[in-house]
Structure 1
Amino acid sequence: MVRVAMRSKTHKEWHTFILIVDSGASYTALPRIDAEPLGVVIRDGTRMDVSGVGGESITAWLHTVTSEIGAMRLRLPVLFLERDDAPRVLGRAGLLRDFGVILDGVGQRTNFVHKTSPRYKAIQSLFNEV
């Protein structure tokens, strides 16, 4: 899980959410209830039909949301799902394709390392040793 701050499109204020990091999810997804505080008019986005692990199809609307994870500021593609009870999920698009993810189970921490950073190259060398 990771803390993500997202900027409201209308009020320019920041709202913080806890998202599940899901490397299997193509997009970051939020429940419909999160759209209003972020100043998002759901149906102004691009309509998509998506499905999760259970295979159930859900209508979603794609928007771009300015977000911060730690010191990184990103413009993430975010799906707003037509459900209020959907989990908040951090997917690959806009983030996981450009960053390595370090999960520290002992310290209960998550860190993102950009693919062009020297730290990322050091992490890759660890994987190459295995």
Structure 2
Amino acid sequence: LRIEDTDRERSTDAATSAILDGLTWLGLSWDGDAVSQFERAPRHREVAEELVRLGKAYYSYETSAELEAMREAARAKGLPPRYNGHWRERDPSEAPAGVRGAIRIKAPTEGETVVQDRVQGEVRFPNKDLD
């Protein structure tokens, strides 16, 4: 069981206890101890950097305001708000000064992704809809 506790302001021992109590109340059990997402951050960074080195991920350098404008433009066109891939093929040397890059997965843009869900069975996602 992984606890998503990367939002350090809202992640408290009480919040984690409430999650575990709720899962137990629902009759759900898990193997081993609950794992803190935050505590694994160094390993996650390491893997993300490796994905960039392998060309399977890339840095994007939009500001929060630019990302919000991108979402608003999509909504105005009646489209779901999602990242437009602006930095997908750009050279990081073009990055604006002072903007911290975010790592994004280079997901396929054509075809579909198929997953086997234990509840829903086979689920298909058009890759053009992935963010």
Pairwise TM-score range, normalised by the shorter structure: under 0.3
- Bigger Rg, structure 1 or 2: 2
Q: Highest relative contact order (Cα 8 Å, sep 6+), 1 or 2? A: 1
- TM-score with structure 1 setting the length: 0.22
Question: Could you say which structure has the higher strand fraction?
Answer: 1
Structure number with the higher helix fraction is 2
